[in-house]
Amino acid sequence: MKKRKPFADGIIFGFGISISLSISLFVLAFVVYPEVAERILKQVEPPAYHIFEERYGHETFTNLSFERMFKQSSVVLLAEPEPNKTENQKVRISEILKKNPNTDFSHSEGDEYDRSHSKFITSADCDGALVFYVGNPPRQKASFYYTDGIIGYRDKIPLHQIKQFAKN
């Protein structure tokens, strides 16, 4: 007669239970929260670019005119690097052009800009960036570099023209 090995049987039983529980939870998540399961299956990671695009009908956010981007944004700001060029150079919010009422955006002018995005501004040969946020809480959708008061994207728009949108 074979000798029983309770420890090995317990390990095998535990492994089987954990697999069936994992499958059951995944099926439940797929039925109850399909967008969660879809994200897990696709393993979608956010792009490591300074422009974040999301579909607005057939157009992407950055393909909209600056006026439409401004209108659809909940927060629009200017971010500029500090004058000293060092390895740990900070980028500060120099001006908030637009902030919708009741938008959960805790930063104000003079605050340090998000470090995860500031490396793009300090590495670029520019005076700063025009940054668009959408939603509440706001998510960064796009940023455009500017030099000498000119946004170097598409049609080379003067920065004062963007500031006019805030006044209207």
103-150, pLDDT tens digit by residue? 888 888 988 876 666 566 666 677 888 888 888 888 888 888 888 888
Which residues touch 78 (CB under 8 Å, ≥6 apart)?
Answer: 93, 94, 95, 96, 97, 128, 129, 130, 131, 159
| Stronger pLDDT, 38 or 65, i.e. the higher one | 65
Q: What is the pTM of this model?
A: 0.62
